[in-house]
Amino acid sequence: MSPAKKGKAGSDVLIERIRRVCKRLPEAEEQVDGFGHRAFKVRGKSFALAGPEGEPPSLSIKSDLATQDALIKRGGFSRTPYIGQHGWITVDDPTKPKWSQVEQLLIDAYRLAAPKRLAAQVE
């Protein structure tokens, strides 16, 4: 299989796993931007971004600065270019993440972006 096809297959798997988490989150939506990135949003605010289709998988997640710092120090995550100053982190290898950790980070990111009423509905 060519690297491009592997990248597409990996991206498809990644997107499906993110969608499974987001289906449980009130008013979470998926949108594709002009560059082909998939943005997962609540009430217009992004909480996760996945790389463009056909390219190697990538995943960035909204976080706070303290969590960002701890994750980077622990390893497996890096500061997201352009938006990292706001706490966003990028999964270094989204093809082999610890999914239980990524799931929790997605839920925490949703809570950061969502209005309080919606965030309170998520366990």
What is the C-alpha separation between 83 and 114, in angstroms, rounded? 18
> Which of these, 41, 39, 36, lies nearest to 52 by C-alpha position?
36
Q: What are phi and psi of 115, to 5 degrees?
A: -60, 155
Confirm or reject CATH 3.90.1150.30 for domain 3-117, answering yes or no. yes
Count, residues in the chain = 123
Assessment of whether the complete model's pTM goes beyond 0.85: yes
What is the C-alpha separation between 37 and 56, in angstroms, rounded? 12
pLDDT digits (tens, 9 = 90+) for 59-73: 999 999 999 999 999
* φ/ψ bin of 88: left (φ > 0), alpha (ψ from -120 to 50), beta (otherwise): beta
What is the C-alpha separation between 29 and 86, in angstroms, rounded? 21
pLDDT confidence of residue 63 = 98
pLDDT confidence of residue 103 = 96
In terms of Cβ atoms closer than 10 Å to its own Cβ (0-12, 13-18, 19+), residue 68 is buried
Mean pLDDT of 94-117: 94
pLDDT confidence of residue 43 = 97
Share of the chain above pLDDT 90, in %: 74
pLDDT digits (tens, 9 = 90+) for 12-49: 889 999 999 999 999 999 999 888 899 999 999 999 99
What is the pLDDT confidence band of residue 9, given thresholds at 50, 70 and 90?
low
